[in-house]
Amino acid sequence: MTLKRPKGTQDIVPGIINKWKTVEGIASSAAEQFGFREIRTPVFEETSLYVRSVGDTSDVVTKEMYTVSSKGSDTFTLRPEGTAGVIRAMLENGIMNEGFPQKVYYIIPCYRHEKPQAGRYREFRQFGVEMAGSASPYADAEIILLAASVLDGCGLENVSLHLNSIGCPDCRAKYREALREYFEPHRSELCPTCNERLEKNPMRLLDCKSPICKEIAKDAPVITDYLCDDCRAHFEKLKSILDGYEIKYTVDPKIVRGLDYYTRTVFEFISEDIGAQGTVCGGGRYDGLISELGGQPTPALGFGMGLERLIMTMEAAGCEFEPAKTPDLYIAPMGEKAQEKAALLCDAVRRAGYAAEFDLIGRGLKPQMRYADKVKAKFVCVLGDNELESGQAKLKNMRTGEETPVELTDFISVFNSLLINEVFGNGFEDEFSDILSGMQSAPEEPKE
């Protein structure tokens, strides 16, 4: 019997974990620069949370959720997206009472039952941010700037911002009627799902992936022709702010996003490097969601960024990732007494803040050296009877091949110096010491 991972999932093994740590570090650092705090929520919620927030006509609710029943009558759903659960947590824990705007970010796994394809999995990881309490278009611009900052930090260049406004409920009521009038003559050509959507939420037809439905929707009315004065003014101000920041964008009236809670501003960042599935970030406003979930009417907005899609885009664009962590030191002991000493030395090196390993299998010297090379250890020290008797060994720089004698009683000091010079360049430690010495000997400022 061969056990395999479930379809639509992936194993993030040690050989590639550095890619995930790279994007997670860039994303969290950028969010904190913009004043966002991290939040963590349960991986499953009551199913009603997603039905109320995401919308009972959305693909997520109708086709993609993983839902289970408890022993009672309650049902729970694995998190298909981040916003609803985060808003629920902010309300339940009183975060909305701490003053506005409230700004949080998260890096979470999500689950959707959909056809796996490049960059799209049934279990996927998402970086997202939510801001509650500001109706200003400057808040919209802040969210967009944060997303752009993350993408810039990842080294992506061929990414364009697509922008739209889908108005408020009053705007959309008129727009939905215009869509029904447009699509009604094509009802027989629409897919079964879009026939249902035509009655419940015709805006969902604009998001259908069916080639026939997409062709019919090509000449459909656009929401920007139906915006009320307030929504139009908000959108124009946002564009003016982005112009001031010199952020390039394309107004794309076809963007509606796939979740029903969006209002006014919606946006997507689309990459040219990964073909048709090019959206690497999407978000917008959801000014009615907080009241829908039981809070006071509060404007809010945010975005989500799939990390699988982001990493795939970085790979296609040839972006660099942080190198994988490797041991600073590998000690190759030869014999039981040498292994005892190697264990103590490794412990001391780790206490000094470095990564160290020693042989745990009892291999010969050559296999140990092959292992040290395979794990890309920066330095190697061989310990045998001769080294123990003399109290002296050699530290070998695996990059240059240079060997440095070291007294075992002074091991940490010499190793520290070698590693500092390896990282910052030869002579750095002496230069740093001179700087410290100069600071310590600097004359005191005369007192008034």
- Residues 325-367: pLDDT tens digits? 999 999 999 999 999 999 999 999 999 999 999 999 999 999 9
Based on the fold, state whether residues 252 and 335 are members of the same structural domain.
no
CB-side exposure of 112: number of CA atoms within 13 Å?
A: 21
Based on the fold, state whether residues 137 and 264 are members of the same structural domain.
yes
pLDDT band (50, 70, 90) for residue 423: confident
For tokens 């974990």, what's the residue? 17
Give the pLDDT mean for 116-122: 80
pTM (2 d.p.): 0.86
Question: CA 273 to CA 218: how far, in whole Å?
Answer: 24
Based on the fold, state whether residues 342 and 258 are members of the same structural domain.
no
Based on the fold, state whether residues 96 and 152 are members of the same structural domain.
yes
Q: What pLDDT score does 182 carry? A: 92
Given 317, 349, 369, the domain boundary residue is 317
pLDDT > 90 in the chain, percent: 68
Of 15-24, 223-232, 396-405, 435-444, the least confident: 435-444
Instruction: Output DSSP code: residue 63.
Output: I
362-380 core/surface letters (b: 16 or more CB in 10 A; e: else)? eeeeeebbebbeeeebbbb
- Residues 58-73: pLDDT tens digits? 767 777 898 988 777 7
Q: Which residue has the higher pLDDT, 448 or 284?
A: 284
Asked if residue 339 is part of any domain, the answer here is yes
Asked if residue 154 is part of any domain, the answer here is yes
pLDDT at 425 over 80: no
Based on the fold, state whether residues 296 and 377 are members of the same structural domain.
no
Which is it for the CA torsion 246, 248, 253, 258, positive or negative?
negative
Q: What pLDDT score does 436 carry? A: 41
Based on the fold, state whether residues 384 and 311 are members of the same structural domain.
no
Given 274, 289, 317, the domain boundary residue is 317
Q: How far is CA 348 from the centre of its chain?
A: 36
Given 317, 344, 377, the domain boundary residue is 317
Domain count, the chain: 2
Asked if residue 420 is part of any domain, the answer here is yes
Residues whose CB falls within 8 Å of the CB of residue 74, separated by 6 or more in sequence, listed in order: 46
Element of type H or E holding 85? helix 83-92
Domain span at 248: 17-168+228-317
CATH assignment of the domain containing 148: 3.30.930.10
Based on the fold, state whether residues 99 and 125 are members of the same structural domain.
yes
Question: CA 78 to CA 68: how far, in whole Å?
Answer: 8
Give the pLDDT mean for 72-79: 87
Asked if residue 443 is part of any domain, the answer here is no
Q: Which residue has the higher pLDDT, 232 or 214?
A: 232
Based on the fold, state whether residues 398 and 349 are members of the same structural domain.
yes
Asked if residue 6 is part of any domain, the answer here is no
Q: What pLDDT score does 327 carry? A: 96
Based on the fold, state whether residues 295 and 362 are members of the same structural domain.
no
**Per-chain mean pLDDT for the chain:** 89
CATH assignment of the domain containing 415: 3.40.50.800
Asked if residue 52 is part of any domain, the answer here is yes
Q: What pLDDT score does 74 carry? A: 84
Beta strand extents in 136-258 (DSSP E only): 159-165, 250-251
Tally of CB atoms within 10 A around 156? 21
Asked if residue 24 is part of any domain, the answer here is yes
pLDDT at 433 over 90: no
Q: What pLDDT score does 204 carry? A: 78
Which two tokens mark 255?
Answer: 């963007």
Of 114-118, 273-277, 371-375, 433-437, the least confident: 433-437
Based on the fold, state whether residues 125 and 56 are members of the same structural domain.
yes
Which two tokens mark 34?
Answer: 């913009």
pLDDT band (50, 70, 90) for residue 199: confident
Question: CA 81 to CA 305: how far, in whole Å?
Answer: 10
Q: Which residue has the higher pLDDT, 63 or 15?
A: 15
Give the pLDDT mean for 197-219: 84
- Residues 362-398: pLDDT tens digits? 999 999 999 999 999 999 999 999 999 999 999 999 9
Ramachandran quadrant class, 376 (left: phi over 0; alpha: psi -120 to 50; beta: rest)? left
Helical ranges in 245-319 per DSSP H: 289-292, 307-317
Asked if residue 423 is part of any domain, the answer here is yes
In one letter, which amino acid is 429? E
Q: What pLDDT score does 336 carry? A: 94
Based on the fold, state whether residues 40 and 113 are members of the same structural domain.
yes
Tally of CB atoms within 10 A around 309? 22
Based on the fold, state whether residues 129 and 266 are members of the same structural domain.
yes
Q: What pLDDT score does 275 carry? A: 66
